[in-house]
Amino acid sequence: MAEQAEIDARPTDPVGRVLYKISRVVAIVGGLLLSGLALLTTISITGRATTIGPIPGDFELIAIGTGICVFCFLPYCQLMRGNVIVDFFMEKAPTRAKTFMDFIGGVVYLTLGYMLTWRMVYGGFDMYENNEMSMTIGFPRWTTFPISILLMSYLVIVIIYTTWRSFRETVAGEYFNEQ
């Protein structure tokens, strides 16, 4: 059933197919990173329970990595219609109402995504100028901002595409999973 939903939501136009391929690769990288973080946690907890001891700064590394993972997953979720959809309330609604609400949700999400990306740029520069470091391992916090800003910028591109897709569906009176 989940496979069918993915096939239904997968873009068919050239731009959408390119965004889909990139989003999928980025999500897989995020999944691999998350698996590595799970392994790090397991090793640290096992070390804590034995005489080896925990990995110093494990919680800092987990926090940094988890933030990057979230940024990796968001574009794929948006492209596959996994974000900003409340099917429960819209299940029985007419097609145009569904696509219009997707469009409105996309505009709101685009606004938030743009503002977050814009402010992350300033936050990264601020952390760089103040030489802000993590407490335990002294990791320079600003170094995670370039990848996060890049991933958020890509998310904004995906949101622009999906909002445009919803607009086109509203005009055409079609919804992606209705036969």
> What secondary structure does DSSP assign to 59-100, as a single string?
HHHHHHHHHHHHHHHHHHHHHTT-SS--HHHHTTS-HHHHHH
Residue with tokens 């590595």: 36
Assigned token pair, 177: 């999973």
Looking at the predicted structure, is the pLDDT value of residue 40 above 80? yes
Looking at the predicted structure, is the pLDDT value of residue 1 above 60? no
Residue with tokens 């600003």: 142
Cα–Cα distance list, 32 to 63, 148, 150 (Å) = 16, 17, 19
pLDDT at 2: 47
> What percent of the chain lies above the pLDDT cut of 70?
89
Going from N- to C-terminal start, the domains of the chain cover 2-172
What tens digit of pLDDT does each residue of 133-142 get? 988 888 898 9
- Helix locations, the chain, DSSP H: 2-9, 14-49, 58-79, 87-90, 95-129, 145-172
What tens digit of pLDDT does each residue of 71-97 get? 999 999 999 887 655 566 777 778 788
> What percent of the chain lies above the pLDDT cut of 90?
57
**Mean pLDDT for the stretch of residues 58-64:** 91
What tens digit of pLDDT does each residue of 147-163 get? 999 999 999 999 999 99
Nearest to 144 by CA among 87, 84, 81, 66: 66
Residue with tokens 């569906």: 169
65 contacts 37 by C-beta, under 8 angstroms: yes
**Is 0.75 topped by the overall pTM?**
yes
Cα three-residue angle 5-36-152, rounded to 5 degrees: 60
d(CA 48, CA 166): 50
d(CA 169, CA 175): 6
